[in-house]
Every structure is written in C-alpha cells, then in structure tokens.
Amino acid sequence: MELYELSLYHLTEGLKAKKFSPEEVYESCKKRIDSCEENIHAFITRTDEIAKSQLQEDNSGILAGVPTVLKDNLCTKGIRTTAASKILGNWRPPYNASAWNYLRSAGAVLMGKVNMDEFAMGNTCGNSAFGATHNPNDLSRVPGGSSGGSAAAVSAGYVPFALGSDTGGSIRQPAAYCGVYGLKPTYGMVSRYGLISYGSSLDQIGPFARTVRDLQIVMSVIAHYDPMDSSCFREKNYDFTHHENVSIKGKKVALVKEFQDFTLDPAIERAMKKTQEILQEEGAELVEVSLPVVSKYAVACYYALAMSEAHTNLERYDGVRLGYTVKDAAGIKEMFERVRSYGFGPEVKSRIIAGTCLTEPERCEQYYVAATKVRTLIAQEFTKAFTQTDFILQPASPEMPPLIGSQDDDAMKGYQADLYTLPVNLAGLPGLSFFTGYYGDLPVGLQLIGPRWSDPAILEAGLVIERHTGTPEIANEGVK
C-alpha cells in the first residue's frame, strides 16, 4: 500500500510510531498529485515548496506532517487566494483563516489551494475563472460544487483530508458526487474568520475525508472557539473522540413526508432503501416528519437571502481596496465598471444584480424581509421535527453527478437540485454527507441531519453506517 492511500487516522498513527517519515508521506502525496492533476485539475495554486518548508518546523501536534489542501476561499497569509474569481487578481491575504491556523498549529502542511465555483456560487465547480475540475471517479462528470476541488483532491488520494465551505450544500453535495465523507457543521461550530464571505448567515467551514473517523479528527482540531468570529460558539466543548462501541440503538431516524413525492435518480433511491435497512438492523426506529414549508419555500427563500447577502458582501471588490484594478480609468465610476465587468463571472454578476433588486427599498419588504420570515418558519419546522426524531435521512442531491457542461444553460434546475441541502443552512443545522456504496462505477452519498450542536452524534451515527458500507476506494480515473 502506498502512503497516499492511508486514511488520516492511519497516517497519524504511523507517523507517531515513526513507521514512516513526514517527508515520505509528502513525497507519496506529491507523486500522486503529479500523476493525476493534469486530468483532474483540482488545484488553483500548488504550494509544494511551502509544504516542504512547513515539514521542517518542529511540531508534535496530532496532524504533524499531514498534507492537506484548502478551498481557495480560505485566506492563507502570503499565499494567493482567489475564490476562483479574476477580481481578486493575485491577492495575497495578510492573515490566515482561523480554521487554517488551527490545522497549522496541529502540524498540517499545505499542498495547495483548490478549485471551487466563483465565490462559492454554484454546484458543479464549473463556475470557476480557472476552468472546471473533473470527478476522479469519472472524468467526464462534474465533482459537484462549490467545493469540488476539495472533494476531488480527497477522492483522488491527493491528501487524506481537506477543508471546504458550505453555504447551501457545497460540502455535502460534492462529497456525495465524489464518494467521500463531508460534514457541514452547525453554524457557529467552526470559526468563519478568514473565509471569504458569500452569504454570511449561511456560510460554514467543514472537512472532507475518506472515513468518518477522519472527520472526527479534523473536527476535534477546527471546532474551536474564536473571538475573531462573533457567531462562533462560546461555552461548550464538543467531544469528537468517541468511535468505539458507538450505537444508534433506540434512536429515531426520520424521512421527510413531503420529499417522498419527489423523483430521485434510481441509484439514490436504492441507496436510501439500503441505508434504511442498515439503520433498522442497528436498532434505530424509522419514523416520518413533516416539513411543508421547507419543501415548498426553502429554495426560493435561500436564493433570495443568499443573493441579497452576496450583493452586499461583494460590494468591497471595487478595484480600490484589494485585488484586480485598472490604472487608466477616466474616473471612479469608469473604474468600478471596468473592474467589476472584467473581474466577475456571469453567475456572480447575475446574483449581484438579483440581490440588488431584492433589497431595493421599494421591494425589500416583499422579498428580502419576507424571506427572513420564511427562514424563521423553516427553523421552527426543524425544531419541531427534532422533538419527534433524532436524525433526518435524505439525499444530498436528487441526481448523480451530471456530465461537465451539461447544465450550464439551466441555472434554475441547478438551484432546484439544492433543495435537499440548503434548508440545513437556513436553520443552521449540521449535516453529514456519507458514502453508501457504488452503483455501477459511481459512488452514491446520502445525508444525515441532526439538531443544532449534534455534530458529534451525527458522526457517531455515520460510524455505525460505515461499518456496513465500508469506506470508499481512492478513485483512479485521473491517473495518467
């Protein structure tokens, strides 16, 4: 077995026991990246040399010598950070995202910054100024998005874990498309400081890995109180270390009544059936909850809020403060126009325009304010549902990964496909995207949702399911 194939847990154990050296792990991962990257295109910026120098530092943290990659909307001090947009130019942030600081302190080394939909807007990883990433399980298909580069890097064996961000599904859907595990933590569980904002009330950073145990390890490092993020949790300590003798016996797992009428890809339908059998075999009780407002209004509510927040958050890219600029504009208005016309891609522009319209004084009550009220109803609906069940089981996407380019002309279809993930962000809940097996050559993932702060319990339930499904194999389609 090659070192790049090891799970994060086995890698850390082997490094601790000095079975192999950090340099050997680095070389193995680097070789793997070199052999696949031409076909997969997960990276925006490779930082092999930086990783190499980080290896020299004395560190005995639990991730000492473990290579990782970050979605390119996480700020890295002195290292180009683009959010996959031309508008950031060659911006090198003056500070690190807190989540990266925590990983770095624990000894992780950075192999690079990976691809995403521009400003995290999209679900294919195709809305990137740097070109599309390919799914390592089938190169003709998308890896999902927006954190497609992070999911592809873990699936192809570049690194044992990666960080992404999830505003409406961007960790969970690409994890499902690439056949890896991904956790969208409770809003406030992981500091957002240094995450380039898209929809600030929805954004959350989280990990990808090839086993549930590995997600636990990463969460134990990044779920950290941070005074730099006022929405970050304050009092409690969350325990991500339970992995032996975990059980879901007697727990309730619900299906959503209203979702039963919607069509799923047959492979996802089969995965849902198989997972229900596993849950029952493990002594969980299957129940049903009703989420009528979610099923009818969540998509419209999410896009109204996400676009409104995005248009405000993206105001700062004006050619003055940071990133791309023009030097020969006749005046400030021309400068704004030229910088923003060139700098933003079409999806981002359309969302800025929509967000501007939704929040204009004469329409604000009708759209933005109405959406905030619907959001409250959605959160209340989940609160009620979680008095009747411990978890909710549902797909991460109704579809298998589409062919690259096949959905470029149908934005509405893409928005609608987020129905299974975005309600979780509206209510600030945690959601685990887990591997269920292969159907043909493609992996299928599903999603388990819990009440706020139940992240440790969801991962434990994930461990129970993983005992039946086994862990995903490293995808080899990218090998030259």
Enumerate the active-site residues: 71, 146, 170
Question: Measured between alpha carbons, how far is 173 from 218 in angstroms, rounded to an integer?
Answer: 19
**Among 447, 467, 469, 477, which residue's Cα sits nearest to residue 183?**
447
Buried b (16+ CB within 10 A) or exposed e, 107-145: bbbbbbbbbbbbbbbbbbbbbbbbebbbbbbbeebbbbb
Query: Phi, psi at residue 440, to the nearest 5°?
Result: 70, -135
- Count CA atoms within 13 Å of residue 321 on its CB side: 7
Stretch 162-201 residues interacting with ligand GLN (CB under 6 A): 166-170, 198
In the complex with ligand GLN, the residue whose CB is nearer, 169 or 355, is 169
**Among 124, 157, 134, which residue's Cα sits nearest to residue 6?**
157
How many Cβ atoms from other residues are within 10 Å of residue 245's Cβ? 5
To the nearest whole angstrom, how small is the minimum distance from the Cβ of residue 205 to ligand GLN? Answer: 11
Question: Measured between alpha carbons, how far is 88 from 90 in angstroms, rounded to an integer?
Answer: 6
Per CB under 6 A, which region of 1-9, 120-128, 132-140, 368-376 contacts ligand GLN?
A: 120-128
In contact, 461 and 451? CB cutoff 8 Å: no
Stretch 303-322 residues interacting with ligand GLN (CB under 6 A): 306
To the nearest whole angstrom, how small is the minimum distance from the Cβ of residue 419 to ligand GLN? Answer: 11
In the complex with ligand GLN, the residue whose CB is nearer, 138 or 418, is 418
CA distances, 391 to each of 169, 280, 386 (Å): 18, 13, 7
- Sequence-distant (≥ 6) Cβ neighbours of residue 168 within 8 angstroms: 199, 202, 302, 306, 418, 421, 422, 425
Per CB under 6 A, which region of 54-62, 115-123, 371-379, 471-479 contacts ligand GLN?
A: 115-123
In the complex with ligand GLN, the residue whose CB is nearer, 132 or 464, is 132
In the complex with ligand GLN, the residue whose CB is nearer, 144 or 478, is 144
166's tokens: 């999830």
In the complex with ligand GLN, the residue whose CB is nearer, 155 or 167, is 167
Quick check: 146 binds ligand GLN (CB under 6 A)?
Answer: yes
In the complex with ligand GLN, the residue whose CB is nearer, 4 or 382, is 382
In contact, 113 and 45? CB cutoff 8 Å: yes
Quick check: 460 binds ligand GLN (CB under 6 A)?
Answer: no
Per CB under 6 A, which region of 116-124, 254-262, 324-332, 335-343 contacts ligand GLN?
A: 116-124
Quick check: 85 binds ligand GLN (CB under 6 A)?
Answer: no
Question: Measured between alpha carbons, how far is 385 from 218 in angstroms, rounded to an integer?
Answer: 29
299's tokens: 């998509």
How many Cβ atoms from other residues are within 10 Å of residue 269's Cβ? 14
Query: Phi, psi at residue 378, to the nearest 5°?
Result: -65, -45
Size of the site for ligand GLN (CB under 6 A): 13
- Give how far the C-alpha of residue 5 lies from the chain's centroid of Cα atoms, to the nearest Å: 22
Determine the straight-line distance between the first and last CA of the chain, rounded to whole angstroms. Answer: 19
To the nearest whole angstrom, how small is the minimum distance from the Cβ of residue 120 to ligand GLN? Answer: 4
Stretch 253-312 residues interacting with ligand GLN (CB under 6 A): 306
To the nearest whole angstrom, how small is the minimum distance from the Cβ of residue 195 to ligand GLN? Answer: 11
To the nearest whole angstrom, how small is the minimum distance from the Cβ of residue 64 to ligand GLN? Answer: 31
In the complex with ligand GLN, the residue whose CB is nearer, 160 or 168, is 168
Stretch 386-425 residues interacting with ligand GLN (CB under 6 A): 418
Quick check: 72 binds ligand GLN (CB under 6 A)?
Answer: no
CA distances, 208 to each of 62, 200, 455 (Å): 17, 21, 14
In the complex with ligand GLN, the residue whose CB is nearer, 124 or 155, is 124
Per CB under 6 A, which region of 118-126, 354-362, 443-451, 459-467 contacts ligand GLN?
A: 118-126
Per CB under 6 A, which region of 119-127, 238-246, 331-339, 396-404 contacts ligand GLN?
A: 119-127
Q: Where are the alpha helices (DSSP H) in 42-97?
A: 48-56
Stretch 213-232 residues interacting with ligand GLN (CB under 6 A): none
To the nearest whole angstrom, how small is the minimum distance from the Cβ of residue 73 to ligand GLN? Answer: 9
**Among 387, 389, 372, which residue's Cα sits nearest to residue 426?**
372
Give the residue, chosen from 3, 29, 120, 444, that forms a contact with ligand GLN under the rule CB under 6 A.
120
Strand pairing report for 67-71 and 161-165: parallel
To the nearest whole angstrom, how small is the minimum distance from the Cβ of residue 103 to ligand GLN? Answer: 20
**Three-class SS state of 478:** coil
Quick check: 123 binds ligand GLN (CB under 6 A)?
Answer: yes
To the nearest whole angstrom, how small is the minimum distance from the Cβ of residue 398 to ligand GLN? Answer: 13
DSSP conformation class of 401? P
The strand pairing partners of 449, in sequence order, are 392, 431
To the nearest whole angstrom, how small is the minimum distance from the Cβ of residue 404 to ligand GLN? Answer: 16
In the complex with ligand GLN, the residue whose CB is nearer, 230 or 416, is 416
The secondary structure element, H or E, covering residue 98 is helix 98-105
Per CB under 6 A, which region of 2-10, 117-125, 352-360, 395-403 contacts ligand GLN?
A: 117-125
Binding site for ligand GLN (CB under 6 A): 120-123, 146, 166-170, 198, 306, 418
